[in-house]
Structure 1
Amino acid sequence: MRVPKSVLLVSTALTMTAAPAMAQDVAPPPPPAAPQDDAAQQQGGLNDIIVTARKRQETVQDVPVAVTAISAEQIATRDVTSVEKITAIAPQFSVGRASNGSGAQLTLRGIGSSSTSIGIEQSVAVVVDGAYYGQGRVINEGFFDLARVEVLKGPQALFFGKNATAGVISITTADPTAAFEGMVKGGYEIKSQQYRLEGYLSGPLTDTLGFRIAARYTKMDGGYYRNEADDITYTELDAATGDLTSHTATPAARKAPGEEEFLTRATLKWEPTDNLTVSLKGSFDQSTVNNSSWNYVAYRCGNGETSQLNGYACGKDFVTHQNNMPADIAASYPYAKSDGSLYNKYRSAGGTLNVTYDADLLQISSVTNYQWNNNRWTCACDFQSGGSENGIGPTWATENSSWKAFSQELRALTQFDGPFNMMVGLLYQKTRRDFDQFVLTGGVSNSDAPEGYQYVTTAKNSFTKGETMAVFGQMTYKILPDLELAGGVRYTDETKNSFFTQPYNNPLVLGIFRDQNDPDGLGEVTARQHFTNWSPEATLTWKPTPDLMIYGAYKTAYKSGGFSNGGINSKLSTDPTADLTFDPEKAEGFEIGFKSTLLDRQLRFNVTAFSYKYKNLQVDFFNSPIFAFQTLTADARTKGVEAEFEFAPNGVPGLDIHGSINYDKATYIDFPLAPCYAGQTPAEGCNLAGNSRQDLTGAPLSVAPRWTGNLGIGYEMSVGSANKLGFNIDSKYSGSYLASGFGNPLSRQSKYVTLDAGIRFGAENDNWQVTLIGKNLTNRFYVTGVVDGPSTGGGTGTAAGVKADQLGFGTLPRTVMVEVTKRF
């Protein structure tokens, strides 16, 4: 896609400044006191946390939004280098890493999006430097050299582009510095045998132009998970000749994921006048792992202690059983490595242009962004070794999928001294997804197939072109000096044009899959979808004192419908278009809360209560009777109370105690014809619509614990005249939850506690530092999403039903990293 030069030249973008979220160098002024008390009053205490939750700089205590802010210092001390690692600091947020489909299940306050469909954009939007990244593949991005991270909870329609029905993860990368400086950091993680080297160089090129170049390289000699598979030998039938051939699949890499990653970012920031700021950021990311489904664990078996697929024991441990594609097949298989080894290769590139013109009465800004990513993999798509116990040939697949998007956002914000102010804006985005997948079912081949397709059971080809226009605005009115009413609305008009076909099917499966030559004329599916929406919101904010804010908000949000590019056109389905398309998701509800700074600015204490209803929550599942993926919609509600605190006592500089406790009840409120889970019997509720449906009204959503919380302490002290010593200990608690969105009791994850800790010693002026960082020190295994084990379970809707094995998306085990940092 070509971007007109005129667009790039006239685009202006809001600069997300690099001021750290925790303003460590600006302590709040002490209250009036006797001169002899001044020094004591300035010891310790809270510092202001700057956020941009309303696309302008405000302290976290002044913004009427439930937000968890993570400063640059916390990012470094707690090794927040990926979206997954944010969950340790924001316990209401959960990330499930998936191998295929969208690549992730991001969940916030119990609301998330299924991982099995690449066409579903996440309900938790990720925004980087003001630009929207809605694809689940963003989980493969490594994040480094950051200024801050903000977790905005609940619907965020007005200020953050689109699709943020559950919330936003807003990431701001670091900007150039006023003086020349650089940093080099080397690290080694013991469990995965991972080496890490990163650094940056930053400073002025002229009086008005600054630059920053940052890069990171990591390489694992080992991994987090252990693969204990054995060789698999199976027999394949040639559809053309009837010949039988044996193939051997060797075990995949014993230690996974064996990641190798390179990231780099370059920034130019130009400030020719006090009113104009221009920032241009370009980035590139490449990562490769030795198994796309490296964290899939059979943690509970459907019929006892051993897997129905392969006879291995199921267990809650960091152990998998997966095999490479046979090398003699892989040599001619599309997108497979020549030796058949499993892999996932992710590449991305992007650029964001940010400019702000800030006059006395008017601020004009825009964000111009182009992004591209490509993901290729070979997957052992039974997710556990298959074929040795039940006689079914193993299943592998390869995929090549790409995403690209161009967006332009313009804003104008008035800054009058009077009671009225307003903001208006416009967003345009153009996107394209291309998708190719090749599935191998180990029992069949066809020597008469076109070149490259001999061992392909079914192939998929799909694309979706999208175009979005949105207009949004907000007015604020100060009813009284300490009472403000804000109201706004976003109008969205979105079009998606999609195509799907299965260009080749092995003759032995033509009774299951339609291909492009299917005689019933349904072999190619096209869809033109057009969606429009109005999303209003209103907020009333009252500040009776400078240290207390009380607010109430009515919010709505919208996530467009779409097309499941990776679905199946099943011969058993009567309406393939309905199988592959799905409706928009909408959120509506209320939130009230207060934010307080108490005890002479030693204690920050905030409480939020919320209730949101979700209409047409997008839920993806595999309909085994017709052998098709379908995205259904259900109504749901999430409601709860969150309380968080931070205590930094005066007189004890460097001490910080922080924590939160959160109650959230996330349930379906209308899902009368939900799909049954695999093996569910009529006695267990699978007795509707021909014994293939159940009523899930009132049942919990996926990965939605009722109680979560965290508690931590950090302390930093001077050692001698030139050094300092610091440590932190942080725990996270989660109540139990169902990992399945369909009520499967076998999917239950029990309650758990994780513990992170770190200790660091270095120069008082940060010239050098040695750090030891431990995460999940209790080595607790838990899952943050689940799929049914392929080819396991059966008899759904009958008294003889057998539940499928539960394959969970496991998280990281205990990790311990040593880092050495040098600044110059």
Structure 2
Amino acid sequence: MTTLRARNAFGMRRALLCGVALSGLAAMPSVAYAQDAADTAAADDDNVIIVQARRQNETLQEVPVTVTSIGGDTLQKYNIDNVADVTSRVPTLNVQVGGSGSGGQISLRGVGSSNISAAFDSAVAFEFDGVIASSMRLVQSGFFDVEQIDVLRGPQSLYFGKSATAGVLSIRSANPTATWQVGSQASYEFEEKGYLANAFISGPVTDTLGIRLAAQYNKIDEFQRLQAGTPAVNQERGLKEFIGRLTLDWNPSERFRANFKLQYTKNENDGAIGTAEINCGANGRADSVFLLGGAVNIPAGYDCNTNDQRYFLPDAAAQLAAGVPTPSKAAGRNGVPFGESEIWFGRLQFDLDLSDTLALTSVTGLLNLNAVDFDSYSYGGFFPGPNGTRLPGGAGASDPINKLEQYTQELRLTSDFDGSFNFMLGAFYEDRTFTFDTSQQGVNISFFGPSGPRPLVGGGVAPGTGFTYDWDKTHITKTEALSFFGSVLFDITDKLELSGGVRWTDESKVQTISVPYVHNSLAYVSAGGGLFRPSPAFLQSGYFSGPINFDDDNISPEVTLKYQANEDLNFFASYKTGFKSGGIDNSALPSNSLSQAAATGDFSALIFKSEKAEGGEVGFKSQWAGRSFTFNGTAFYYVFTDLQVQNFNAVSVQFATSNAGELTTKGIDFESRWTTPVEGLSLSANLSYLDAQYTDTFIQPLGISTVDLNGRRGSQAPEWSGNIAADWAIPLSDGLELFLSTNAAYNSGYITDEATLNDYVQPSFWLLDANVSIGDPDGKWRLSLIAQNLTDEIFTITTGGRPFLQPGVGDDFVMTQNRGRQVFVQTSFRF
């Protein structure tokens, strides 16, 4: 018994070779040449789900970690091709896509990292094929040909390092198959008028080499439909995306395996602002775009209807659109929003058996991201035109260029002893360079004219450029992280297992800030006599900060005790800690904090502290009635200190980066699955209770709020959330099957911001997905009608102040919402 359980935790790697098994949701694609081993492992139980929650292949029912697993077949059945679409299957998971900062946000159990700041690592680590991706811009990209998605809740720093203070969202793409297979899927979506097609070919090239080629193209014509009368070239904002992936799996001997993945993603869209409505606040009117102390006051234009999925997103005003600091892809577009991104991802993993009892795993990751977008962040604005027409009046535009070059290397040495003791030792290294280069209109001074020459006191002239942007600035942040970790597993008795370990991390960051251009009307003030001197409130063109340094190290321990009452009942208790390095804010503007830092040489206001988590959970995992019924539960309690937070002051147009004093989360998660006595019918359900509160002083800086949030509920933290799903495969004949499936998700509602005691509260809501399919029982062909969010329920994910409000008068705010109903007709085949 001792030997068997030790191998379940640390030795399944040899038996299953890279995580291949049959999911409880569906049979999943297998790694080449591992199918026989996988089938053997799953022969006694068709409901085995394999996860890698401790960087090893373990069954979902035996691993002492709270994990929700979604198989590739389920993703295909519901046409889920975006990270945000997974939320209806995972209670307390919240995903926001879009924005000009990090480009996205993932939160679990009420803990996440702001989508505004590109300086933050995500508190929920985003892992793709074993590589932690540092940029949340990846959540904007779709995914396809997925083998499995695992969501790990709670701190996971021991095995996943880097961030992972709140959990891990892990995506594993499909691998080569043992026999040649070809598959394709095509769908048309009626609401957004979207087309999607993907295909793969997979099989053995030789006895030792497998290959898989997969590609997907997605084009949506009406991702966003604009409100009637919106002055914009694109009345329907669309997007299109191509993803291509090559996978090679080489297994020249029983002791060595190498797996290589190379993926390219190209995304184009009609603007960075996602599905964002404007709430007109307590005064009930669309507040004007208030600029330059009221010298420019632009009618907002939106209709205050936040539920019609019609967005007022104007093009940039002509006075602001023309002169973009070059080089920029926004130049020459006359203020019409757009977005482009290219992502190259490469991963090489090899597994080498050094002996019968020791194995070495190496995971090398390369990520190259190049993204640029343009939009007007006034979220409104028009000028009256001839014959009752409207001319574009968008202000607050920016053209952020995000570039990421990331290299990671992880090594793991794992034992597979027959005795009661096993271990894992590992090392991790990351080298990352992130460039955030953007021209911005924070003041919109070019309503008074483009940047012209300024004769200076003492002689000389600040030359005019003709640019209509307020400034152009570039933050380059170089990160180097090194960590070592070790874990042990010890069978105290045949039924009692003790496991745990520690990770030491050292992370250093160096940032430089350059400001090659500042509009002369901001950079200089009148000195009389037609001469000008440098402004004390703004930087001047050509500023360079020199290196700004941040360094921190941490020790994160973890320990778990598991009691196996019998083969179908496990209890566990864990103590866990988490660590997410602090850093240097890259959203500071060439006014206020940055100009003050430049004058004094003190950049401490740009530094945010490291985020830490500490707490634990107790749980059980059980199977009943011949393993046809699964019921798991976890109770947790965690305290997060120095939670990294960023908000936006919509009046002064300043970003506020800070650390919340303390957030305490506690609650219970339940999960169940039932293979019913009715042939082909299975049910599953999840339910979570969450209590998340700020438990120490937390006051937003820079005038966002003077209210202490201590004692207030955390944002994006529903008290109750859950889902129930039913899948029914009904045989019609030997070669024909009817498939019916539905998923209903409930959320009790949550606070959407973290600024005041009166932030907007999203009321409770239900989401309903459904699928009706007919096809071959073995999946050779299928015709499906799929509905996501069938009732067209619109809910708000996050909120924040609308920029450029009149002080003391304006109260409008931005509501980032989900996508509405999507109805697909889909056909697929595989042979």
AA of the residue aligned to 1:545: N
| Map of 2:539 onto structure 1 | 515
- Residue 527 of structure 1 deviates from its aligned partner by 1.1
Cα distance in 2 for residues equivalent to 1:414 and 1:710: 39
Q: What 5-or-longer segments of structure 1 have no aligned partner? A: 1-13, 27-41, 232-249, 679-691, 796-801
How many angstroms apart in 1 are the aligned matches of 2:435 and 2:135? 13
Equivalent in the alignment of 1:319: 310
CA–CA distance in 2 between the matches of 1:621 and 1:160?
Answer: 28
1:110-130 deviation digits (Å, cap 9, x = unpaired): 001111111011101111111
User: Residues of 2 paired with 1:293 and 1:624: CA distance?
Assistant: 16
Which range moves more in the overlay, 146-155 or 693-702? Answer: 693-702
Q: 2:251 aligns with which of 263, 271, 281?
A: 271
Find the counterpart in structure 2 of residue 30 from structure 1. Answer: none
Describe the shift of the 1:267–1:230 C-alpha distance in structure 2 as closer, same or farther (beyond 3 A).
Answer: same
Does structure 1 retain, via aligned residues, the 8 Å contact 2:649–2:801? Answer: no
Residue by residue over 1:396-449, the C-alpha shift from the partner in whole angstroms, topping out at 9 and shown as x without a partner, is 111211011001100001111111111100001100011111113252422448
Residue of structure 1 aligned with 2:814, choices 807, 819, 824: 807
Give the direction of change, closer, same or farther, for the CA distance of 1:803–1:394 in structure 2 (3 Å limit): closer
Name 1:368's counterpart in structure 2.
364
Query: In the alignment, what sits opposite 1:663?
Result: 689
Distance in 2 of aligned mates of 1:230 and 1:614: 46
Task: Show the counterpart of 2:430.
Answer: 429
**2:347 is aligned with 1:352:** yes
- Per the alignment, residue 97 of structure 1 pairs with 97
Residues in 2 aligned to 1:567 and 1:387: alpha-carbon distance in whole angstroms: 31
- For 2:519 and 2:267, locate their aligned partners in 1 and report how far apart those are by CA, in whole Å: 33
User: Which stretch shows the higher mean deviation, 665-674 or 419-428?
Assistant: 665-674
**For residue 165 of structure 1, what is the aligned residue in structure 2?**
165
Structure 1 residue 393 displacement after superposition: 7.2
2:605 to 574, 579, 582: 579
Find the counterpart in structure 1 of residue 332 from structure 2. 338
Write the distance in 2 (CA, Å) between the matches of 1:102 and 1:776: 26
C-alpha distance in 1 between matches for 2:758 and 2:510: 39
8 Å CA contact 2:432–2:479 kept in 1: the answer is yes
- Bigger Cα displacement from structure 2, 667-676 vs 154-163: 667-676
The verdict on how the C-alpha distance between 1:453 and 1:366 changes in structure 2, with shifts beyond 3 A counting, is: farther
Deviation of 1:629 (Å): 2.0
Question: What SS class does the counterpart of residue 175 from structure 1 fall into?
Answer: coil
1:443 aligns with 2:470: no
Query: In structure 2, how many angstroms separate the alpha carbons of the residues matched to 1:394 and 1:724?
Result: 56
Partner in structure 2 of residue 241 of structure 1: none
Q: Map of 1:169-188 to 2, 5 A cutoff?
A: 169-188=169-188
What is the Cα deviation at residue 331 of structure 1?
5.4
In structure 2, C-alpha distance between the alignment counterparts of 1:230 and 1:732, rounded to whole Å? 36
Match of 2:582 in 1: 561
Alpha-carbon separation, structure 1, partners of 2:17 and 2:362: 9
Q: Which amino acid aligns with 1:470?
A: S
The superposition leaves residues 283-320 of structure 1 with CA deviations (integer Å, 9 ceiling, x where unpaired) of 00011111210311113425214344415322322121
**Are 1:53 and 1:63, in contact at CA under 8 Å, matched by a contact in 2?**
yes
Which residue in the other structure is 1:654 paired with? 680
SS at match of 1:88: helix
**Which stretch of structure 1 is more off in the superposition, 541-550 or 440-449?**
440-449
What residue number does 1:10 align with? none
**RMSD over aligned Cα atoms:** 2.6
One-letter amino acid of the counterpart of residue 183, structure 1: G
* Contact residue 131 and residue 347 of structure 2 kept, 8 A: yes
TM-score normalised according to structure 2 size: 0.86
Give the Cα separation in 2 of the matches to 1:399 and 1:357.
43
Q: Which residue number corresponds to residue 11 of structure 1?
A: none
In structure 2, do the counterparts of structure 1 residues 303 and 503 end up closer, same or farther at CA, with 3 Å as the change threshold? farther
1:221 Cα deviation after fit: 2.5
Give the deviation of 1:275 after TM superposition: 2.0
Measured after TM superposition, the shift of residue 674 of structure 1 is: 3.2
Residue 575 of structure 1 and its aligned partner are, at CA, apart by: 4.2
State the partner residue of 1:254.
235
CA contact (8 A) 1:420 1:477 kept: yes
Amino acid corresponding to residue 562 of structure 1 in structure 2: G
Task: Return the letter of the residue paired with 2:363.
Answer: V
Q: Find the residue that maps to 2:75 and give its secondary structure.
A: helix
Aligned to 1:488: 501
State the percentage of identical aligned residues. 31
* SS of 1:76 mapped into structure 2: helix
Tell me if structure 2 keeps the 8 A contact 1:286–1:346: yes
Q: Is 1:640 aligned to residue 640 of structure 2?
A: no
Distance 1:44 1:822 in 2: 29
SS of residue in 1 equivalent to 2:73: helix
Take 1:280 and 1:45, find their aligned partners in 2: how far apart are those partners? Answer: 30
* Shift of residue 661, structure 1, vs aligned partner: 1.4
Q: Quick check: 1:493–1:531 contact (8 Å CA) kept in 2?
A: yes
Give the aligned partner of residue 550 of structure 1.
Answer: 571
CA distance in 2, matches of 1:383, 1:95: 22
- Tell me the residue number matched to 1:38: none
Which one-letter code corresponds to 2:316 in the other structure?
A: M
Letter in 2 for 1:66: T
TM-superposed deviation, 1:630: 2.7
From the superposition, tell whether residues 328 and 21 of structure 1 become closer, same or farther in structure 2 (CA, over 3 Å).
farther
Q: Secondary structure at the match of 1:322?
A: coil
1:705 aligns with 2:736: no
Pick closer, same or farther for the CA change 1:722–1:512 going to 2, 3 Å: farther
Q: CA 1:229/1:505 → structure 2, altered by over 3 Å: closer, same or farther? A: farther
| Equivalent pair of 2:348/2:363 in contact (CA under 8 Å) | yes
- 8 A Cα contact 1:300 1:805, kept in partner: yes
Report the equivalent of 1:396.
397
Cα pair distance change 1:216/1:328, threshold 3 Å:
farther
Question: Normalising by structure 1, what TM-score?
Answer: 0.87
Identify the match of residue 22 of structure 1 among 24, 38, 45: 24
Deviation at 1:326, TM superposition (A): 5.0
Distance 1:23 1:775, change over 3 A: closer
In the alignment, which residue of structure 1 is the partner of 2:106? Answer: 106
Partner of 1:817: 824
- Of the three residues 774, 788, 792, the one matched with 2:805 is 792
Maintained 8 Å contact 1:46/1:603: no
- 8 A Cα contact 2:790 2:822, kept in partner: yes
State whether residues 788 and 806 of structure 1, in contact with CA within 8 Å, keep that contact through their aligned partners in structure 2: yes
Residues 477-512 of structure 1 show CA distances to partners (whole Å, capped at 9, x for unaligned) of: 100011000120000011100012332222333358
Q: Deviations over 1:30-73 (max 9, x none)?
A: xxxxxxxxxxxx99996111111111111110000000000121
Q: Is the 8 A contact 2:315 2:394 kept in 1?
A: no
Question: In 1, distance between residues paired with 2:803 and 2:383?
Answer: 11
Q: What is the match of residue 407 of structure 1?
A: 408
* Residues 662 and 494 of structure 1: CA distance in aligned 2, closer, same or farther (over 3 Å): same
Checking the alignment, whether the CA contact within 8 Å between 1:705 and 1:736 is kept in structure 2 is: yes
Cα distance in 2 for residues equivalent to 1:262 and 1:76: 18
Q: Which residue is equivalent to 1:694?
A: 707
State whether residues 24 and 46 of structure 2, in contact with CA within 8 Å, keep that contact through their aligned partners in structure 1.
Answer: no
Q: Tell me the residue number matched to 1:689.
A: none
What letter matches 1:86 in structure 2?
V
Residue range with higher mean Cα deviation, 498-507 or 94-103? 498-507
Structure 1 residues 466, 365: closer, same or farther in 2, change over 3 A? Answer: same
TM-superposed deviation, 1:571: 3.4
Is 447-456 or 117-126 further displaced after alignment?
447-456
Please say if residues 27 and 73 of structure 2, whose CA atoms lie closer than 8 Å, have aligned partners that are also in contact: no
Q: 1:219 to 1:15 in 2, by over 3 A?
A: farther
Q: Distance in 2 between matches of 1:789 and 1:626?
A: 11
- How many residue pairs get aligned? The number is 753
State the Cα deviation string for residues 595-637 of structure 1 (Å, max 9, x = none). Answer: 1001221210011000000010001123578753231111111
3-state secondary structure, aligned to 2:302 = coil
- Residue 39 of structure 2 corresponds to which residue in structure 1? none
| SS of equivalent residue, structure 1 residue 766 | coil
CA deviation after TM superposition for structure 1 residue 791, in Å: 1.2
Q: Is 1:458 matched with 2:471?
A: yes
In the alignment, what sits opposite 2:296?
A: none
